[in-house]
Amino acid sequence: MKNQYGKIISLVKQHEKWFSESLPLVASENVASRTVRNVLTSDLGHRYAEGWPGERVYAGCKFIDQIELEAMSLAKTLFKAEFADVRPVSGACANLAVYSTLSDPGDTMMALSIPNGGHISAGKKEFSGTAGLVHGLDIEYFVFDKENMNIDIDETKKKLKAVQSSGKKLKIVMFGGSLFLFPHPVRELADAVLEVGAVPCYDAAHVAGLIAGGQFQDPLGEGAHVMSFSTHKTLFGPQGGTIVCKAQYGEAMKKSVFPGTSSNHHLHSVAAKALMFSEFLKFGKGYARDVIRNAQVLAETLAEKGVSVLGESHGYTKSHQVAIDVTKYGDGGIVEKKLEDMNIILNRQLLPGDLQAGRHYTNPGGIRVGVSELTRLGMGKSEMKEVADVLHMALTTDKADLVKKRVRGLRRLHQRVKYSFDNSPAYFYR
């Protein structure tokens, strides 16, 4: 017993040390401040508070209620929303609550296919996607324009009508996605969605921080009625989910979150979300601006070096992500592994057209790079040029030791969490 105990502690320490000398470029990840991390270890993590503030199923909630009300109020302010539910324990759970509120099993939802940037939580049953497998939704795909790396407005309008006249009950049109370079045409399509009797929704799991910082798009302002998101991708953590929406859906959404898709929610996480939202109110705008600028500098520098960066006709990216076709270096699976061995941590990525080309999730054509975390660790434009240089070197050489040394050098001065009130060390478990 004692042995395993020690071993686990040691593995956690090894993980922290590894990440402290690596380039964390996974686009869905970020790093939380010490204050946010500390509250996750508070007594709140031991308690039950099923239900809504003031309507709890358990005693002992007088402070928890106040914390949760603050968290909701901050979320409403940040996203200019009429209603917020901060209880979902993840982005996928938030989506499931949205599906349950707006549709019944057998209804249809439109979303992006996975190679075009969609997420498995909006996937079909045959792929074990949450929407299909758990809620019984039938999925129709947006028409996607590969050249522009965005939803095709005119073709999607036609498809909305076609789906409606086929007799399917189209209830939800879910904008947003996981490979997400450019704002989606919510303003252009919201009326067409309403005309066919569906609710325009937006999955901001990846871009919630950019939205909260006012630097991407404002889905609710542009016509989406409901927005769900993760709280740890471009937001500052903890891991979790949140739903914001128009007031008219509030009562039903509350029931879908509890008791529909959870019993107790994670109270320590609600406190951490509240702290994170207040960090975001103060630092979010500058952070989101710097993240997008960093992604653009990284993309441009890589393209100058001959790397095939997607989205060229629109300046490569307007988000935290850079998408790269790596087929000339093997495939996304080979590159992901090679770079991981060089302490560069990022993901392989299915790209539009991959399935037609016979590629698959394990050996897709691309990689996806995110700069949210490096930005929060204080890296700016000049560091992005160096990151591009190191990435290019990693793609084109086998000299792992040389790459690792450069990576370690790049990280030496970037060990603290910026855009925070506490300027805390990013790694303190070592």
Q: Which residues here bind ligand PLP, judged by CB under 6 A?
A: 28, 90-92, 95, 119, 121, 176-178, 203, 205-206, 230, 241
- Residue 112 or 307: the one with the smaller Cβ distance to ligand PLP is 112
- Residue 373 or 383: the one with the smaller Cβ distance to ligand PLP is 373
Residue 274 neighbours by CB under 8 Å, 6+ apart: 67, 68, 70, 71, 74, 86
- Residue 182 or 329: the one with the smaller Cβ distance to ligand PLP is 182
CB–CB of 175/184 below 8 Å?
yes
CB of 178 to ligand PLP, least distance (A): 4
CB of 122 to ligand PLP, least distance (A): 7
User: Cα-Cα-Cα-Cα dihedral of 348, 350, 353, 357, to 10°?
Assistant: 70
- Residue 223 or 241: the one with the smaller Cβ distance to ligand PLP is 241
CB of 180 to ligand PLP, least distance (A): 7
- Residue 292 or 388: the one with the smaller Cβ distance to ligand PLP is 292
- Residue 297 or 367: the one with the smaller Cβ distance to ligand PLP is 367
CB of 386 to ligand PLP, least distance (A): 28
Distance CA 172, CA 160 (A): 11
CB of 229 to ligand PLP, least distance (A): 8
CB of 119 to ligand PLP, least distance (A): 3
- Residue 51 or 88: the one with the smaller Cβ distance to ligand PLP is 88
- Residue 213 or 238: the one with the smaller Cβ distance to ligand PLP is 238
Q: Which two tokens stand for residue 235?
A: 């937001």
- Residue 319 or 343: the one with the smaller Cβ distance to ligand PLP is 319
CB of 205 to ligand PLP, least distance (A): 3
Distance CA 191, CA 165 (A): 17
CB of 247 to ligand PLP, least distance (A): 24
CB of 403 to ligand PLP, least distance (A): 28
Task: Using CB positions, name the residue nearest to ligand PLP.
Answer: 91
